[in-house]
Structure 1
Amino acid sequence: MSLVTPRLLIIEDEPSQIEILRYNFARQGFDVRVATDGEEGLQAATEDPPDLILLDWMLPELPGIEVCRQLRRNKITREIPVIMLTARSEEKDKIRGLDGGADDYVTKPYSVKELIARARAALRRPTASVTENILSVGAVQANLEKHTVHSNGVLVQISPTEFRLLVALMQSPERVFSREQLLDMVWGISADLETRTVDVHIGRLRRALHPDGAPGPIRTIRGFGYAMGPG
């Protein structure tokens, strides 16, 4: 993430909304770029990844929810914070947006000041510490080269699948992943598996990291999925 001038990509097709967002974010020191449809937005995000994306749900050609899913499947763009903008205000729509990979969800009409505050909060999202191929979150360390895991300095025995699942969570501390997202990331988008599979492996990971049954770093987000914090 750029420390001085955060780069913002706005994917929006309404000219009036584009101008309001461009003007206000530029005034706040953002370097603003605009794409007016989903395909253009995906291309812009991949060719020159921004620090943050504001994504409208209702876009021509490719809906925002699908744009978000494709951003999360691309290793170049999967970690970029995405705030979804939409006129849909029902809870089920918010869940769909978050399930598609959005970090936040703002309903139109929105307060520009609030949106800017949410954007800054998204940019402050913590990242994992990586030193010499060792990924660290709190007391958990994963060696990406040797495929080993230590918790509080103790070697932990886990399966290759559980290692991939743990790394997926560790790479984005505090970010909430749905079960469907984790299935895509760990088992692949073509895997014909139930979301219960994720719950089973999360349970095994928790027992491995904390065999004493103490609360661990993997948090359950009721009705949605999982996140990992320092623990």
Structure 2
Amino acid sequence: MKRNVTRNVARLRVAVATALFVSTRPFALPAPPLPTVPDDVRAALAPDDLVLAFKTGELTGNGTKGLVVAVYPGARYVEEPRHGGNNPCKLIVFTDHEGAWKETARSDSAVDCVNNPYMSRPQEMMGIYDLEIAAGTIRWANATHRQHHTFEFTYDATRKRWNVHAMTQDFPVERSADPDAPLGAAHGEIVSPRDFPVTPMEDLDPDRLWPLLVKHTTTTF
């Protein structure tokens, strides 16, 4: 059931992106104010770190409070990021330790700040809707106006570590050169350990998983 809900949410995002892509009518919606970053979250990071998103809650199933932060280390890019450059962004997991945040896991690859055009001029908290947490689960979506790919991490209570659980991608597909033809929806998903070995969060390698994800991607019209 959980996987079906996740897939339905992903397809809904693609449907919205598709509607925006095919619409020729200009419009603008007022953006809601973004939440501010609390002092205790800011204190866990470097002074000039840019917080793209954060969520707090019970993460590991043992009642301990947790914090997940998507961060760009530096207040702004010094130049436009280029395809294939080093990815500067991090997804960091903290747990409450005697009233202070202690880092327990991170991924230097989950948050894509190189190949995502939305990240060319990052703003604080711009990724708040791309981060989801629940007990035992962290999910981050690298979303653009037409495509997004998502990483899901799950907590291994026995080994006391976060593992890569799944990688998905969703995007609309043009049936033909006719701009009025209906678009299809492509969806791909790979899950550990069914499709790839158990992998700690720190060892996530999207480049290694991409070819496998492509093989597991299908299109429906």
Task: Compute the TM-score of the two structures, normalised by the length of structure 1.
Answer: 0.26
Task: Compute the TM-score of the two structures, normalised by the length of structure 2.
Answer: 0.27
Higher helix proportion: 1
Higher strand proportion: 2
